[in-house]
Structure 1
Amino acid sequence: MPILGSLIKGVIDVTDKLSQELNPVEEQNEVLKNLLETASETDFGRHYKFQDILDQENVAKTFASKVPYFDYEKINMEWWAKLHENQTDVTWPGNPDYFALSSGTTGKTSKRIPVTEDMIDSIKKAGIKQVLALSNFDLPPNFFEKGILMLGSSTDLIEKKNHAEGEISGISASNIPSWFQGYYKPGKEIAKIDDWDRRVKRIVEEAPNWDIGALSGIPSWLELMLKEVINAHGLENIHEIWPNLQVYTSGGVAFGPYEKSFNALMGKPITIIDTYLASEGFIAFQSRPETDAMQLITDNGIYFEFVPFEPNYINPDGSLSDDAPSKTLAEVELGQDYVLIMSTVSGAWRYMIGDTIEFTDIERAEIKITGRTKFFLNTVGSQLSVNKLNDAVNFLEKEFDIQIPEYTLCAKKYKDGFYHTWYLGTNNDVSEKRLSKSLDSFLKQANKNYKVARTKALRGVKVKKTDPEVFYEWSGENKKKGGQVKMERVMGEEKFMEWEEFVTSKS
């Protein structure tokens, strides 16, 4: 009998029951006040008169009217750049202990996002909240005695004069609590290996020695790792080597496009739990099995605002217009895409991380990621967000019984007009012509704006198939393999030209 697992499960059950009374709106009001009070004597806090904001009757409304929106380029140029000149108390008291390097899905150049000790504490607390929420899932006691394989970026951080740098998953893994060390795989030694291929090779070698109960990581890279383990050990599926695998926590990217290819690697169904960890903080996690939506963490050092995702509020470069209205958690509505805005204990203020979300349950503060502001396809009025593109790919998978774990597209101009030109990562034997026809038909039925665009400047759909491996090689050459790297779903014409040349070179 798994005695330790029963004890842990019992503690989780009791603790979660004691902490279920939540009031997200009140929690958010308190978080905002704490952020403003803590940062009131920083350069940023004095510049925007945080103390005066705190003295107003409606703190949230005054904060939104006095402090402008920031994206990375703006806040880095005006404020965070001072941190690299040894200035202190810039946007948060003291100096950050870490900088999270993130190229995201937009290019080679790494952003350097400050990560303070307060943020490390926030991420740890969020992780504990997610563990406690496991009491809502029907998991047996022995699950809580198994290893958790976290496939993030390297924990071998770059040491600078007064801070360290690395991707957020590597920073988080290098700060995991001591009590978790016994569960954590691949362990400190392997996690430090910076080269993705070498790290996976060591995981493959050690795989038979581990009893894995849960996996965590970006779906695309996790799939590649699982395939390596399966192929190296001559397996039919991953459960032949890890029979107790029961949970996968996905993070920061929609799992839908990967669901079919991921499940093909399993020997039996497992529980999928979505997690939303970004370089700017631990934002949300799936707290119950009745939904695949995620609950915003509203009491943990991050204050959220929400800007309606409307074309007239978005500048051509993906930033927000100055007059774009923001909503508090008390003001949001169902059925509306919002640009997510964050103020955090790392000194990000009214910061646009580039994601769009939709509320599925306002009382519980539950959301779904719907896309990226820069990957909103509206060149010819089609108004397609990433979640709508994902829906189309999922439709093709079901319609033709195929797997399409990766894709990208561009509204490309040809001699006779614009075509949505898709590259689908699949090895299945379905003609590109049939895929084009079905894709176009689905989008017409599912999206009225697309249907209207097809009667005007948008001439149609072109589909090209390529091996899914090409997408991973593209990421490897343009950014880096593994970690938090995600494939861009929508490209501009200049970037798409580079992509097509790259695909041609691999064929």
Structure 2
Amino acid sequence: MTLLNTTLKWLLQRRIPRIEAMMQQPGVVQQQVFRQLIRAGRRTEWGKKHQYQSIQTIQDFQRQVPVSSYEDLFPYIERVLKGENKVLWPSPVRWFSKSSGTTNARSKFIPVTMESLDESHFKGGKDMMAMYIANNPGSRAFEGKGLSIGGSLHPNPYSSNSAVGDVSAVVMKNLPSWAQYIRTPSLPVALMDEWESKLERMAEITATENVTSMLGVPTWGMVLIDKVLARTGKSNILEVWPNFEVMMHGAVNFQPYRELFQQQVFPSAQVRYQEIYNASEGFFAIQDDLSRVGEMLLMLDYGIFYEFVPIQEADQPFPKALTIEEVELDKNYALIVSTNGGLWRYKVGDTVRFTSLYPHRLKVSGRTKHFINAFGEEVIVENAETAITKACEATGAVISDYTAGPVYMGNGSNGCHEWVIEFTHEPDNQQKFEQTLDETLRQINSDYDAKRYNDMVLKRPRIHVVPPGTFYAWMKQRGKLGGQHKVPRLANSREYLDDILGQVLEW
């Protein structure tokens, strides 16, 4: 075992006792973060407007500061984009994460301060590896390279003193030299702008390297791996990377892809999978126990103060917001954050559900604007992921991508849900797939079941199987290849459905 591997493992493991202390006293840790943020916020225009000087308690904060959407904060963010200082955060902002815009048609520019880089994103990356090593003490991950799949950077069109780009690109650009040494590809390649050219170059480079880990969105990881296999002529990627150990994944629910990766991509029980919850707004959670699939430990000492709003009140400016000590198991909450990047009571757009308390582990259950509720059925992304996973298990199917939306009532016909699905391996029985999907949704969602009763409101789902490459071509057409861009799973309109189906008809 190399000296570098041994040394890095030892250094990372020194963090574990502090993580364990955080798990035991979440409220104390969050109170400390809250006080630090308020002290910093007092030196900003936002803090002066909302009288941060008078804020002594969390209750004061919740009374004086409204919950904000991106649109609410944008007038302030725009000023920061144009180079103004001390608007939302006291230190200068040199980076902006350009989000994929999954909750709005336009992109979002999230400020990334040096504090949020150091105390959130970098700390989260180190903790991710520390927890992986705690689960696998014999790891040799640092004897090879970590493959990172990220986005690109561009000059800020509003100011020459800063840059914008995918959060992964911002993080990679600012990594210390030791971290750059153990990752691949080189920074100039990793930050290439044109996505398809970058993938080809990444495949060329990594096909000859000792890749031991991968970090990225599973769907884009699969695209890269296919290119490496095409270049090398190998049947699976372990023939190219025989020492591969772990895939760190996030941004989309991995469960529908798990069988594909375990059976075809990395056909070995020795390969492990670790989920992370990293967003433009901050690094939120990490899977600390690899046996607890889909559950992640909420990281409470990253300069982020968390609030959780019951989903029924998510659109209120002053909702009843719960702290970490007040949340309950198995309830869906809209996630609200105040961060060392200058976001204050900001609606991330995700919903989460706690699966354990002390330690506080959660699952991302969906998006506040990604659901189907055209008929009062309230189907969320978590419902859809569970149903499609069960349908795949029942029929031997493996999916590549999917999206779903409503078919509205009209001309005497009841409504239904329409799904567009791209398979890597099609079901051995299409009818059974559709039946299992529908029955699972009925079992886990009583509102959907009520609307499906005797087909009174909703008929059985309508499913379209589209050719391989459909979703890739659609994302390319929308200018959303690579980085954190991902296929929207559900919509309460036909915007995505009609666009994709129209593209297929053109073919």
Q: TM-score, normalised by structure 1?
A: 0.93
Q: Which moved more, 1:108-117 or 1:33-42?
A: 108-117
1:100 to 74, 97, 101: 97
CA–CA separation in structure 2 for the residues paired with 1:299 and 1:33: 12
Alignment of 1:90-239 (within 5 A): 90-106=87-103, 108-122=105-119, 123-155=121-153, 160-239=159-238
Structure 1 residue 42 corresponds to structure 2 residue 44: yes
CA–CA separation in structure 2 for the residues paired with 1:183 and 1:258: 27
Alignment of 1:421-432 (within 5 A): 421-426=418-423, 428=426, 430=428, 432=430
Alignment of 1:8-407 (within 5 A): 8-17=8-17, 20-22=20-22, 23-54=25-56, 59-77=57-75, 79-106=76-103, 108-122=105-119, 123-155=121-153, 160-263=159-262, 264-269=264-269, 270-292=271-293, 293-310=295-312, 313-314=313-314, 320-407=315-402
Q: Which amino acid aligns with 2:233?
A: G
CA–CA separation in structure 2 for the residues paired with 1:115 and 1:3: 34
Q: Which amino acid aligns with 1:274?
A: E
Q: Which amino acid aligns with 1:92?
A: W
Structure 1 residue 447 corresponds to structure 2 residue 430: no
Per-residue CA deviation, residues 437-462 of structure 1 (Å, 9 max, x unaligned), is: 33222222232221101134222311
Contact 2:46 2:87 in 1 (8 A): yes
1:504 corresponds in structure 2 to 505
**Shift in CA distance, 41/473, structure 1 to aligned 2, threshold 3 Å:** same
The total of aligned residue pairs comes to 494
**Shift in CA distance, 108/448, structure 1 to aligned 2, threshold 3 Å:** closer
Q: CA deviation at 1:274?
A: 0.6
**Shift in CA distance, 70/245, structure 1 to aligned 2, threshold 3 Å:** same
Contact 1:375 1:490 in 2 (8 A): yes
**Shift in CA distance, 289/439, structure 1 to aligned 2, threshold 3 Å:** closer
Contact 2:273 2:290 in 1 (8 A): no
CA–CA separation in structure 1 for the residues paired with 2:232 and 2:105: 35
CA–CA separation in structure 1 for the residues paired with 2:18 and 2:85: 40
Q: CA deviation at 1:117?
A: 1.4
Per-residue CA deviation, residues 268-322 of structure 1 (Å, 9 max, x unaligned), is: 1311111111111111111222323111121111100001123xx24xxxxx123
CA–CA separation in structure 2 for the residues paired with 1:106 and 1:39: 27
Q: CA deviation at 1:473?
A: 1.5
Q: Which moved more, 1:456-465 or 1:23-32?
A: 456-465
CA–CA separation in structure 1 for the residues paired with 2:18 and 2:31: 22
Per-residue CA deviation, residues 345-374 of structure 1 (Å, 9 max, x unaligned), is: 111111001101111122112111111111
Q: Which amino acid aligns with 1:81?
A: E
1:480 corresponds in structure 2 to 480
Q: Which amino acid aligns with 2:346?
A: Y
Contact 1:155 1:171 in 2 (8 A): yes
Contact 2:55 2:61 in 1 (8 A): yes
Q: Which amino acid aligns with 1:411?
A: P
2:462 corresponds in structure 1 to 462
CA–CA separation in structure 2 for the residues paired with 1:468 and 1:173: 31
Consecutive unaligned residues of structure 2, counting only runs of 5 or more, are none
SS at match of 1:381: coil
Q: CA deviation at 1:232?
A: 1.6
Q: CA deviation at 1:214?
A: 0.4
SS at match of 1:471: helix
Q: Please list every run of at least 4 consecutive aligned residues from structure 1 whose deviation after the TM superposition is greater than 6 angstroms.
A: none
Q: Which moved more, 1:424-433 or 1:353-362?
A: 424-433
CA–CA separation in structure 1 for the residues paired with 2:29 and 2:505: 53
1:418 to 415, 420, 443: 415
Q: Which amino acid aligns with 2:185?
A: P
- Percent identity of paired positions between Structure 1 and Structure 2: 29
Q: TM-score, normalised by structure 2?
A: 0.93
Contact 1:432 1:464 in 2 (8 A): no
Contact 1:284 1:295 in 2 (8 A): yes
Structure 1 residue 5 corresponds to structure 2 residue 5: yes
Q: CA deviation at 1:476?
A: 1.5
**Shift in CA distance, 31/14, structure 1 to aligned 2, threshold 3 Å:** closer
Per-residue CA deviation, residues 71-110 of structure 1 (Å, 9 max, x unaligned), is: 1111113x22222444321111143111111133245521
CA–CA separation in structure 1 for the residues paired with 2:450 and 2:195: 45
SS at match of 1:465: strand
**Shift in CA distance, 88/208, structure 1 to aligned 2, threshold 3 Å:** closer
**Shift in CA distance, 410/32, structure 1 to aligned 2, threshold 3 Å:** same
CA–CA separation in structure 2 for the residues paired with 1:217 and 1:104: 18
CA–CA separation in structure 2 for the residues paired with 1:101 and 1:355: 17
Q: Which amino acid aligns with 2:289?
A: R
Per-residue CA deviation, residues 215-266 of structure 1 (Å, 9 max, x unaligned), is: 0100110011111111221111000010010100002221112112222111
- Cα RMSD of the aligned pairs, angstroms, is 1.9
Contact 2:153 2:163 in 1 (8 A): no
Consecutive unaligned residues of structure 1, counting only runs of 5 or more, are 315-319
Q: Which amino acid aligns with 2:94?
A: D
